[in-house]
Structure 1
Amino acid sequence: MAKAQDFRAMTVDQLDDELLKLKKEQFNLRFQKATGQLDNTSRVRLVRRDIARIRTVVTTKRGEAAAKV
């Protein structure tokens, strides 16, 4: 689990890449849960929260960039 401060240090492109990676992991975790192979159920919650953190930081950064223009 990363902190929002770690995400704020990244660029928007890096955040988009990280978001894509987390969404793939979320999909794989859902698939494992459906097939009964998921061992660490708490990981689902952590991934979901990291996705929310990244989306919040990206929205903030894009809003700041739009305000400067």
Structure 2
Amino acid sequence: MKLSEMREKSVDELQSAIVDWKKQLLESRLQLSTHKLENTASISKTKKLIAQAKTIITEKGVQNA
């Protein structure tokens, strides 16, 4: 998901996306530990998506205050 797409979503949608990405991150880490994960870059990409979404949520909170 692009950053511009994230900015268009509501806070609730972003929070549900974060939950999904955290589940995906957990699954990727488990696959990594069992040597079944082929694309190790997916872990860092997922972590980056989570961080970007949290930043956008914070920005929206500051704008509404």
> How high is the TM-score relative to the length of structure 1?
0.88
Counterpart code for 2:28: L
What do you get for the CA RMSD once the two structures are aligned?
0.8
Counterpart code for 1:42: A
C-alpha deviations, 1:3-57, integer Å up to 9, x for none? 2111000000000000000000001101111111111111111111111110110
Aligned length: 65
Indicate the structure (1 or 2) with the bigger Cα radius of gyration: 1
SS at match of 2:15: helix
| Structure 2 residue runs without a partner (length 5+) | none
Aligned twin of 1:48:
47
SS at match of 2:25: helix
Moved over 3 A (4+): none
> How high is the TM-score relative to the length of structure 2?
0.93
Aligned twin of 2:18:
19
**1:62, CA displacement in angstroms?**
1.1
Residue 58, structure 1, aligned to residue 57, structure 2: yes
Aligned twin of 2:27:
28
| Percentage of identical aligned residues | 29
